[in-house]
Amino acid sequence: MRVAFLIAPEGVEQIELTDPWKAVTDAGGEPVLVSTEPGEIQSFDHLDKADTFPVDQVVGDVSAESFDGLVLPGGVANPDELRLDERAVSFVRDFFEQGRPVAAICHAPWTLVEADVVTGRTLTSWPSLRTDIRNAGGSWVDEQVRICRSGPNTLITSRKPDDLKAFCEAFLAEFAKAAPTTT
């Protein structure tokens, strides 16, 4: 199972990257850090700088068909920066167009809103995104994890770091159903 983790150069909530990354690795999968720029990304522990992580691939050089699933970690700045990058938004949209599963936690659904893929879907997120999700045509629920199957797509969403265990279990189960579809 090959999983893309789409991260902006700065602003990802570290635990929302490292816990899902470890879950993929522990399941025998291959996590790949994809960003909008080469080099390293700067993670955060809420508002404080935390560790840096090396970028494996730049978003303009990869396609959704190379992966079995996509994980979108949160942090406030991370999805806000991603949604301003058309290549990142297009990369996210491609997963939906190709029917590949996507998992998003905390503030990450902002990128989904920008990709125009929430219409008709039910999802959860950090509570401050509920109006954005509703305005984009989605339904927001306050649940630990929400799995929304719509057509060929599966969207797994979660609210916050406290939900990471359930989030990882849910997306791993859904991604395993999609593997091995990589080319």
Q: What is the pTM of this model?
A: 0.96
Residues shown for the chain:
183
Beta strand 57-58 pairing with 48-54: unpaired
The answer to the question of residue 128 being in a domain is yes
Q: Which domain does 119 fall in, by range?
A: 2-178
Q: What's residue 62's pLDDT?
A: 96
Q: Where are the alpha helices (DSSP H) in the chain?
A: 14-26, 77-82, 86-97, 109-114, 130-135, 164-178
Q: How many domains does the chain have?
A: 1
- CA angle (59, 62, 64) in 5-degree steps: 100
- Domain assignment present for residue 21? The answer is yes
Question: What CATH number should be reported for the domain holding residue 168?
Answer: 3.40.50.880
Q: What is the pLDDT along the chain (183 residues), one digit of tens a residue?
A: 999 999 999 999 999 999 999 999 999 999 999 999 999 999 999 999 999 999 999 999 999 999 999 999 999 999 999 999 999 999 999 999 999 999 999 999 999 999 999 999 999 999 999 999 999 999 999 999 999 998 888 999 999 999 999 999 999 999 998 876 444
Backbone angles phi, psi at 113, to 5 degrees: -60, -45
Q: Is residue 149 part of a domain?
A: yes
Helix (H, G, I), strand (E, B) or coil at 158: strand
Model pLDDT, residue 179: 74
Any domain includes 20 = yes
List residues with catalytic annotation.
106-107
DSSP three-state, residue 66: helix
d(CA 178, CA 155): 12
Residues 6+ apart with CB under 8 A from 177: 101, 154
pLDDT at residue number 182: 43
Q: Is residue 136 part of a domain?
A: yes
- Please check whether residue 183 lies inside any domain of the structure: no
